[in-house]
Chain A
Amino acid sequence: MDFKKLPFKNIARHPGRSALLVSLVAVLAFAMLAGTLMTASLRHGLQSLEQRLGADVIVAPKTAKSTTDLEQVMLDGVPGSFYMDASILDTVAQVEGVKQVSPQYYLATAKAGCCSYPIQIIGIDPKTDFTIQPWIARSYADELGLNDVVVGCDITGAPGTTVRFFGVECRIVAKLDETGTSLDGAAFASAETIRELMRSAVEQGQQTMDKADPDKVVSTVQIKVADGYRASDIADDINLHVRGVWAVPSRSMTSGVADGVSGASRMVGMLVVAVWLLAVAVLVAAFSMTGRQRTREFAVLRVMGASRRMLSSVVITEALMLSVVGAAIGILVALCALVLFNQALESALSLPFLMPSGGTIVLVSVVTFVLSSLVGPLTSALSAMRLSKVDPGQSLREE
């Protein structure tokens, strides 16, 4: 038997102790990885929401403030339809400090061919849109043609298939990347397309359009503010001078979500720190107790002629093997849990939740692996050092 096999024999002959240490390291790795990824997903989700709401100020009809709330449509994914006169677009564009404007058109479907639940269709003007297009461009490079729709990732229906909205056959040209927000349950079309859908909806008696002409309405105006101006000032300006509309800085809309995200992140963070402190404390105790329990066995090894360095290598190898296995298990379980409970977490938190990119996940996993694999070996190395300061003749007396 090679001396180098001794740590493995020790592990194998103490299955209970080994299993305990492996589980402890696994808990450590799990808490660290799951916690970090959860926090990262929340922040990523918030970021993605802010990007989707890319405008600095959103102008909606005053009625949207009370009826189907703008925030509900934008943040919670409750389908809604509200309209104001298209001339608002030009009026708002004239306001000082407004750099760019683009209209959006909202149409809530009833039970359409594709979905058993109502979804939100959002029309954009491909020529001026600066919020939705960059996102669509990641999945679909061409311009949206008549009766083309792009769907969020939660909508059933593969690209190339068609869906019916109010009797109009629409072609799904692309499916969008996940955003972790309510927009994942929406469909997007050009202004041209959505006007046709509106007309059709009115004809079918599914929509009243507030008796307006579909060609002469918009639902919201998205505003980009010029440098040197504050979104809140411009919103105030519009609220003061433009009748019948309601302007809101999008920051104020997402601030509730941002608060939720930072609250949840802080809680997860605190939980992770608590689990870490606890697990590290237990691990340090366990790995150094290992040393004390076996003081006599180590002394016996010294009696046989093992040097201090050899003893350290035995305990460190032992701790490293157990830790590596534990860390790997913890990381695997954490990754599986996140994949399996991703959706459940999202709805339980009712906050935007978007997993970070694969690269980030790998990076975080590697860092977690290294950190949680090191606690045991470091502790063991320290206790071995402490142990080897005592003459073996002394430790032999300790029965």
Chain B
Amino acid sequence: MGDVVLQGAGLRKSFFRAGRDAARRFDAVADVSVALRSGEMCALMGRSGSGKSTLLNMLAGLLTPDEGTVSLSGQDLYALSDEALSRLRNQAIGVIPQGHTALHSLTVFENVELPCHMHGETTDVHDRVDSLLEKLGIAELSNAYPSELSGGELRRVAIARALVVEPQVILADEPTSDLDDENTELVMNALRAASREGRAVLLVTHEQAAATYADRVMRMDAGRIVEGVEA
């Protein structure tokens, strides 16, 4: 197992929820600390509403925590300017958000290559995208638009898009929900391969089967990690 790449410490995020009497704060994530290591594939499980997505977003630099810090290779994400954080996320963190997230104005190819063109040019983008699409079995769809794709194919596009910049960390939020077995296996293998290449992978899921691919399984309940915190 490699070094700790991404570390969340004492993370807390609370939201208002309209209660019976008045609006009331509640902790979606309460005092959570996690560490992701390079080359490790880590599964985060828990029932719906337990705070998994909230935690993942905070780790991705997409949601400012109320308390605690997230550091990537020692760099405090939320201390950075928007410009610097965006650049860092672009280059070092591959996020696969929940749901369908392809840009509808762009073809599959353009969706996948887009992250490479955001902060300066990356070399051999074309080959990299081609081989990723090949690996994920969507090479023939290169010129198709997202509206023409199935759910499983869209999910694979999102994965290719997260992998294309070869980030140190991959954060995947329920990448296999509503996929059939065949597609689930494809997606899981891709993520596993990414971790074998030395990336730190966090896989959020509520499917027991998916967890079998992971090196470590964490369980979350009511905003806290109740099992699997690194010793």
Interface presence of A309 (CB below 8 A): yes
List residues of A (296-314) whose CB comes within 8 Å of B's CBs: 296-297, 299-310
Interface presence of A116 (CB below 8 A): no
Most B CB atoms within 10 A — which of A1, A3, A6, A394?
A1
User: Cβ of B90 and Cβ of A304 under 8 Å apart?
Assistant: yes
Q: Within 8 Å CB of B110, what residues of A?
A: 1, 9
Contact of A391 among B62, B91, B119 (CB under 8 A): B62
User: Cβ of A396 and Cβ of B82 under 8 Å apart?
Assistant: no
User: Cβ of A393 and Cβ of B86 under 8 Å apart?
Assistant: no
> Which one of B1-9, B93-101, B178-186 contacts A?
B93-101
Interface presence of B175 (CB below 8 A): no
**Given known A13-B104, A393-B57, contact A304–B118 (CB-CB < 8 A):** yes
Interface presence of A142 (CB below 8 A): no
Q: Determine the distance from Cα of A14 to Cα of B114 in the docked complex, in whole angstroms.
A: 19
User: Cβ of B105 and Cβ of A10 under 8 Å apart?
Assistant: yes
Interface presence of A2 (CB below 8 A): yes
User: Cβ of B86 and Cβ of A303 under 8 Å apart?
Assistant: no
Count of A interface residues, CB-CB < 8 Å: 30
Interface presence of A392 (CB below 8 A): yes
User: Cβ of B57 and Cβ of A396 under 8 Å apart?
Assistant: yes
User: Cβ of A300 and Cβ of B86 under 8 Å apart?
Assistant: no
User: Cβ of A304 and Cβ of B62 under 8 Å apart?
Assistant: no
- Chain A 354-368 per-residue mask, 1 if CB under 8 angstroms from chain B, else 0: 000000000000000
Nearest A residue (CB) for B87 = A305
Contact of A3 among B57, B99, B105, B117 (CB under 8 A): B117
- Chain A 122-156 per-residue mask, 1 if CB under 8 angstroms from chain B, else 0: 00000000000000000000000000000000000
A103: shortest Cβ distance to chain B, in Å? 76
User: Cβ of A310 and Cβ of B105 under 8 Å apart?
Assistant: no
Q: Determine the distance from Cα of A174 to Cα of B104 in the docked complex, in whole angstroms.
A: 66
Nearest A residue (CB) for B63 = A393
User: Cβ of A305 and Cβ of B90 under 8 Å apart?
Assistant: yes
Q: Within 8 Å CB of B89, what residues of A?
A: 303-305
- Chain B 60-92 per-residue mask, 1 if CB under 8 angstroms from chain A, else 0: 101110000000000000000011001111110
Interface presence of B113 (CB below 8 A): yes
Interface presence of B161 (CB below 8 A): yes
Nearest B residue (CB) for A303 = B95
Q: Within 8 Å CB of A227, what residues of B?
A: none
Contact of B114 among A3, A308, A392, A399 (CB under 8 A): A3
Interface presence of A12 (CB below 8 A): yes
Q: Determine the distance from Cα of A10 to Cα of B145 in the docked complex, in whole angstroms.
A: 13
Which size bracket describes the interface of B in this complex? 35 or more
User: Cβ of A1 and Cβ of B106 under 8 Å apart?
Assistant: yes
Interface presence of B226 (CB below 8 A): no
User: Cβ of B118 and Cβ of A306 under 8 Å apart?
Assistant: yes
User: Cβ of A9 and Cβ of B105 under 8 Å apart?
Assistant: yes
- Chain A 278-319 per-residue mask, 1 if CB under 8 angstroms from chain B, else 0: 000000000000000000110111111111111000000000
Nearest B residue (CB) for A8 = B105
User: Cβ of B117 and Cβ of A2 under 8 Å apart?
Assistant: yes
**Given known A14-B105, A396-B57, contact A307–B83 (CB-CB < 8 A):** yes
B181: shortest Cβ distance to chain A, in Å? 25
Q: Within 8 Å CB of A302, what residues of B?
A: 62, 86
User: Cβ of A306 and Cβ of B86 under 8 Å apart?
Assistant: yes
Q: Within 8 Å CB of A394, what residues of B?
A: 63
Q: Determine the distance from Cα of A10 to Cα of B101 in the docked complex, in whole angstroms.
A: 15
Interface presence of B32 (CB below 8 A): no
User: Cβ of B97 and Cβ of A303 under 8 Å apart?
Assistant: yes
Q: Within 8 Å CB of B88, what residues of A?
A: 305
User: Cβ of B86 and Cβ of A307 under 8 Å apart?
Assistant: yes
Interface presence of B115 (CB below 8 A): yes
User: Cβ of A304 and Cβ of B161 under 8 Å apart?
Assistant: yes
Nearest A residue (CB) for B85 = A307
List residues of B (160-194) whose CB comes within 8 Å of A's CBs: 161
**Given known A1-B117, A10-B105, contact A396–B161 (CB-CB < 8 A):** no
List residues of B (97-152) whose CB comes within 8 Å of A's CBs: 97-99, 101-106, 110, 113-115, 117-119, 145
List residues of A (246-302) whose CB comes within 8 Å of B's CBs: 296-297, 299-302
Q: Determine the distance from Cα of A296 to Cα of B110 in the docked complex, in whole angstroms.
A: 18
Interface presence of B58 (CB below 8 A): yes
User: Cβ of B105 and Cβ of A300 under 8 Å apart?
Assistant: no
Q: Determine the distance from Cα of A297 to Cα of B114 in the docked complex, in whole angstroms.
A: 13
* Interchain residue pairs with CB less than 8 A apart (6): A13-B104, A13-B105, A305-B91, A309-B82, A396-B62, A396-B98
Which 4 pairs from chain A and chain B are nearest by CB?
A305-B90, A393-B63, A393-B57, A307-B86
A residues with CB within 8 A of B = 1-3, 6, 9-10, 12-14, 296-297, 299-310, 391-394, 396-397, 399
Given contacts A3-B118, A9-B106, A396-B101, 8 further A-B contacts (CB under 8 A): A300-B102, A302-B62, A302-B86, A303-B60, A305-B87, A307-B83, A307-B86, A308-B86
